[in-house]
Amino acid sequence: MITTLNIAVKKQGLHAFTPQLARAVAASAIDEGLCTLFIQHTSASLLIQENYDPSAKHDLESWLNRLVPENDALYTHTLEGADDMPAHIKAALTATSVAIPIIDGALALGTWQGVYLWEHRHHAGSRKVIVHFGH
């Protein structure tokens, strides 16, 4: 079974969508299997990360922005703005797909794990995540 999640994002950063994904898992009626996610964009990525302390999100975002700064003189792909090429580099360094086991009809995430869309552009809108449920 395959479904598409539309994740609305308004700014750069980590955006949790675990509840939306959990609803899709419940609707799939799969008791055991694998949930594979794939983001259909080249300037955003997916991440499983701590969902308890917001400072973890902040530190990850700050670290990646420091690692891949905007306005680097080496960038030639600048047609869509100063955040365009850094967004592509960030997406290349992170994940475009993740897989999560489904056990007893639920995502087998750890206690403090959440599923995030990592938006690398300043203004994005809606991002599409393809969700595949397999046995």
Please state the pTM of the whole predicted model. 0.93
Task: List phi, psi (to 5°) of 78.
Answer: -125, 10
pLDDT tens string for the chain (135 positions)? Answer: 999 999 999 999 999 999 999 999 999 999 999 999 999 999 999 999 999 999 999 999 999 999 999 999 999 998 899 999 999 999 999 999 999 999 999 999 999 999 999 999 998 789 999 999 998
Q: What is the reported pLDDT for 7?
A: 96
Q: Cα Rg for the chain, rounded, in angstroms? A: 16
Report the C-alpha gap between 62 and 58 in whole angstroms: 6
Written as one letter, the residue type at 19 is P
Task: List phi, psi (to 5°) of 84.
Answer: -70, -60
Q: What is the reported pLDDT for 123?
A: 85
Report the C-alpha gap between 18 and 8 in whole angstroms: 13
Q: What is the reported pLDDT for 124?
A: 72
- The domain 2-70+77-134 is placed in CATH, from the list 3.60.15.10, 3.40.50.1390, 3.40.50.620, 2.60.120.460, at 2.60.120.460
